[in-house]
Amino acid sequence: MAETLTFNSCGALVIGGSAGSLDVLLEIFPALSNDIDFPIILVVHRKANNESLLTDLLQARTVLNVREAEEKTPLLAKNVYIAPADYHLLIEEDKTFSLDYSEKVNYSRPSIDVTFQSAAEVFKYSLVCILLSGSNADGVNGLKVVNNLGGKVVIQNPKSAIMPYMPQQAFSNVKADAVLHATEMAEYINNLIKR
Amino acid sequence: MISDAIDNEQVEILLNDVLEAHGYDFLEYSHASIKRRITRLYAIDNFVSFAEFRYTIKSDKQYFKRFLEEITVNVTEMFRDPSFYKALRNDVLPVLGTYPFIRVWVAGCSTGEEAYSLAIVLKELNLLSKSLIYATDINPSVLEKAKKGMFPLNYLKQYSENYVNSGGIKDFSSYYTANYSLAKFDETLSSKMIFSTHNLVSDHSFNEFQLILCRNVLIYFDKELQHKVFNLFDNSIEKLGYIALGSKESLEFWAKSKEYKRVKTEKIWRKL
């Protein structure tokens, strides 16, 4: 079932977060290297209105290109894609995005589980997923799939999370490759750049 | 976790079976989404082997009805994206109101929430009596629900908020009567609707319309199929008619997009 191939370089990074994760993203983004050579995908629970707020906040803090993920467009390196509010974000075999308006998962749409799992099936052992602060367990099942398919699982240290429930659930149920404080995240991500 | 209970190859096998045995072509649907729906169905219906799942889908007509209903996404809402309905109310329907007769096609109408929303706006603009709404879907069982015009009462608070935000001017509850857990919508609305199955993949144009509404359907199709459907719409829309899509859909990259002009910032285009 699970592939036993192991991680060697990052094909894509997916970051999932809910309540309390914005502070972490605002900490990470200014410190991200210019040389990031993989796409970054963000799945953040939020209200359906105020579409561009998160994009604008993050774009102001990085040289990477931040935008909302659009359906049937390719995932490109050096780009940060934000899952649109009120849609699930899926990734196709040909590394393009698909959107899906099916039932909420864990009371959430976009659901972190859905994107983690979909990305894991495509990127397998070249995927890195980070789960941040949050107050429900969305993302935990997705991390299990990432783990099974050989990708890397990173969890925010629940002690450093504003809402520790989500990372704590992941910590208790999934084998993590790293458990990091918010302040350590950017360096970890920069170290994923191929050299 | 049953992440890899069904792999890509098995999805292909199932979709080919479905085409051969039942005549429904899902091969050009977005793969990631349809795989997720199939995997989900396999899990919730407790199949123990792919072989059993495959055999049941292929040979059990009753089960295939369920398959069809479950792998297509039927999540919808009344007055979803209020700003869209505001644009219909203020910018699109008044223009169509100058015509002697208004024909609308709601393609992929699912359980009918958008068709009823549209009928309400038409009614408030005094246009419903000269309008006809053709509501179609691939799936006969959702059309049965749409015909009844009954929606779960617990959603009505949200729908009512959407309605108000879209510029609705009446008391929303005047359009339905509460019946146990359901809200039954006024039959004057459904009296101007014609429900019929239509498969956007394989069926042809069947009339000419002034407005085609097809929202959150194309996201489930691959790019080639999306363009085929745009051609179908192009063959089904009158000059100066409108095509309305979901908030994340666009006809921008389609070959004939230059023949259409976008209406303000909404996902509405007018044929030139």
Please compute the mean of the pLDDT values over residues B23-48 and round it to a whole number.
95
How many Å separate Cα A158 from the centre of its chain? 17
One domain, residues B33 and B99: no
Are B54 and B99 members of one domain?
no
Bond into A110 cis (ω within 30): yes
Mean per-residue pLDDT, B79-102: 97
**What is the average pLDDT across B177-196?**
96
Q: Same domain, yes or no, for B253 and B118?
A: yes
Statement to judge: residues B152 and B185 lie in one domain: yes
* B229 and B96 fall within a common domain: yes
> B8-22 vs B50-59: helix axis angle to the nearest 10?
20
User: Pick the catalytic residue: A108, A133, A138, A160?
Assistant: A138
Q: Cβ contacts (< 8 Å) between B8 and chain A: which residues?
A: 93
Per residue, the 3-state secondary structure of chain B, as one string, reads CCCCCCCHHHHHHHHHHHHHHHCCCCCCECHHHHHHHHHHHHHHCCCCCHHHHHHHHHHCHHHHHHHHHHHCCCCCCCCCCHHHHHHHHHHHHHHHCCCCCEEEEEECCCCCHHHHHHHHHHHHCCCHHHEEEEEEECCHHHHHHHHHCEEEHHHHHHHHHHHHHCCCCCCHHHHEEEECCEEEECHHHHCCEEEEECCCCCCCCCCCEEEEEECCCHHHECHHHHHHHHHHHHCCEEEEEEEEECCCCCCCCCCCHHHEEECCCCCEEEEC
Kindly state whether residues B56 and B138 are assigned to the same domain. Answer: no
What's the CA dihedral at A67, A72, A74, A79 to 10 degrees?
10
- Looking at residue A46, its pLDDT comes to 86
- For residue B248, give the nearest of A71, A90, A102 by CB distance: A71
CA distance A164 to chain B (A): 23
Q: Is A35 a catalytic site residue?
A: no
CA closest to A101 among chain B residues: B75
Of B78, B86, B263, the residue nearest B161 (C-alpha): B78
The answer to whether residue B42 is domain-embedded is yes
Mean pLDDT (whole number) for B237-251: 96
pLDDT at B2 over 90: no
Q: What does the mean pLDDT of chain B come to? A: 96
Scanning every residue of chain B, which has its alpha carbon at the shortest distance from the alpha carbon of A91? B32
Question: Looking at the domain A12-190, which fold is it?
Answer: Rossmann fold (3.40.50)
pLDDT on residue A3: 46
Residue A47 — very low, low, confident or very high, per pLDDT cuts 50/70/90?
confident
- Residues in A whose CB is inside 8 Å of some CB of B read 1, 70-72, 84, 87, 90-93, 98-103, 114, 117-118, 120-122, 141, 144-145, 148-149
- Domain presence at residue B76: no
- Convert the pLDDT of each residue in A48-81 to its tens digit: 666 688 999 999 999 999 999 999 999 999 999 9
Using the beta-carbon criterion (under 8 Å), do B3 and A70 form an inter-chain contact? no
- Are B117 and B251 members of one domain? yes
Q: What is the pTM of this model?
A: 0.93
Domain shared by B94 and B194, yes or no: yes
Cross-chain residue pair B3–A149, CB shorter than 8 Å: yes
Last residue within a domain, chosen from B71, B97, B113: B71
Q: Are residues B137 and B173 in the same domain?
A: yes
Q: Which residue has the tokens 């997923």?
A: A129
Mutation for testing the B interface, residue in A4, A51, A71, A105 having most B CBs under 10 Å: A71
Structural domain including B112 reads 82-271
Count of the separate structural domains present in chain B: 2
> What is the C-alpha to C-alpha distance for residues B152 and B150, in angstroms, rounded to an integer?
7
Do B235 and B146 share a structural domain?
yes
A18 is catalytic: yes
Per the CB < 8 Å rule, is B75 touching A149? Answer: no
> Within this chain, do residues B246 and B142 fall inside the same structural domain, yes or no?
yes
- Tell me the pLDDT tens digit for each residue of B127-178: 999 999 999 999 999 999 999 999 999 999 999 999 999 999 999 999 999 9
C-beta separation of A160 from B43 below 8 A: no
Residue B129 inside a domain? The answer is: yes
Task: Determine whether A45 is an active site residue.
Answer: yes
Instruction: Provide the percentage of residues in chain A whose pLDDT is more than 90.
Output: 90
Sorted by where each begins, the domain ranges of chain A are 12-190
Q: How much is the pLDDT for A179? A: 98
pLDDT in tens, A2-30: 445 677 799 999 999 999 999 999 999 99
Q: Compute CA distances B118 → B35, B158, B165, whole Å.
A: 32, 17, 15
Residue A36 has pLDDT above 80, yes or no: yes
Residue B1 banded pLDDT, cuts 50, 70, 90: very low
Distance from CA of B129 to the nearest CA of A (A): 33
Q: Is A193 exposed, middle or buried (0-12, 13-18, 19+ CB in 10 A)?
A: middle
Choose the closest CB to B36 out of A90, A120, A148: A90
Instruction: Answer whether residue B266 is part of any domain.
Output: yes
Do B92 and B26 lie in a common domain?
Answer: no
Distance from CA of B154 to the nearest CA of A (A): 16
Tokens of B231: 């051609």
Mark which of B71, B99, B122 sits at the end of a domain.
B71
Average pLDDT in chain A: 94
Residue B264, domain CATH: 3.40.50.150
State the pLDDT at residue A39. 98
pLDDT for res A166: 97
Domain assignment present for residue B221? The answer is: yes
Q: Which amino acid is at B160?
A: S
